[in-house]
Amino acid sequence: MMKSIDQPGVREREGLSAAVLAGGKSQRMGSDKALMSLVAGGPALLSLVLARLETVSNDVFIVANDYDRYDQFGYRVVADVHADAGPLGGIHSAVSKARQQHTLVVACDMPFLNRGLLQRMAEEPRDYDVLVPEIPGESRQGRGEMVYQTLHAIYGRTCQSVIEARIASGARQVMGLFEDVQVRTIDLSEVLQFDPELLSFFNANTPEALHAASRIVAGEGRLTGE
């Protein structure tokens, strides 16, 4: 498989796994969002995400329960054994099946992942349980609150047992995990240095969002963030 010529150093790639969660039901999209394209005849959303993760990891894999559907992409596919636990279950599958101690976890519907931001996260010393960007968004406290981007984060294998305990207790919220582990944040000012428009965190998870992403591509002539 062809590799990017501007990959980060060997330490970053060899010390970090990267997983794409593709086990969601795509209810808001109406069909499998991972297989959607931003332009006619263009690569699937999942292909864009996988290609970007290749720049920071040599252990890139897909978390999903439909092996036959995703095997076509040429990457390892691991089962989402806690599919009914939502993203928290997907994160558990990612960290438990990763070949490295830390795993970058992203969603399959994020077409504008930013290379510079991912590399910055990959270079952070790995003495944490979770490394996560924090940006303005919507939370239970309202719009504009600072929100952890839980599906654009690096999780240590130390999270595995904590997640197992939470799932066993019926907990499903990823944010609840953060109460029990050591979390380090990438703050907004640093995120903006790499991604001023915060497109890294854009989710093409509805027909309207997919159309908006297509318009971004048409207007700026790009398929992924730089």
Please count the structural domains in the chain: 1
Spatial CB neighbours of 128, under 8 Å, sequence gap ≥ 6:
154, 156, 182, 183, 184
- Residue 144 burial class via C-beta count within 10 angstroms: exposed 0-12, middle 13-18, buried 19 and up: exposed
The radius of gyration computed from the CA coordinates of the chain, to the nearest angstrom, equals: 16
Q: Is residue 24 part of a domain?
A: yes
- In this prediction, residues 215-224 reach a mean pLDDT of 70
Q: Is residue 3 part of a domain?
A: no
- For the stretch 151-190, pLDDT in tens is 999 999 999 999 999 999 999 999 999 999 999 999 999 9
Contact 46, 108 (CB under 8 A): yes
- For the stretch 53-88, pLDDT in tens is 999 999 999 999 888 889 999 999 999 989 889 999
- For the stretch 125-156, pLDDT in tens is 999 999 999 999 865 555 568 999 999 999 99
Q: Is residue 5 part of a domain?
A: no
Residue with tokens 């944040």: 185
224: pLDDT strictly greater than 90: no
Q: Is residue 17 part of a domain?
A: yes
Q: Is residue 226 part of a domain?
A: no
State pTM to two decimals. Answer: 0.87
Q: Is residue 1 part of a domain?
A: no
Supply the range of the domain harboring residue 77. 10-219
The CATH code of the domain that includes 164 is: 3.90.550.10
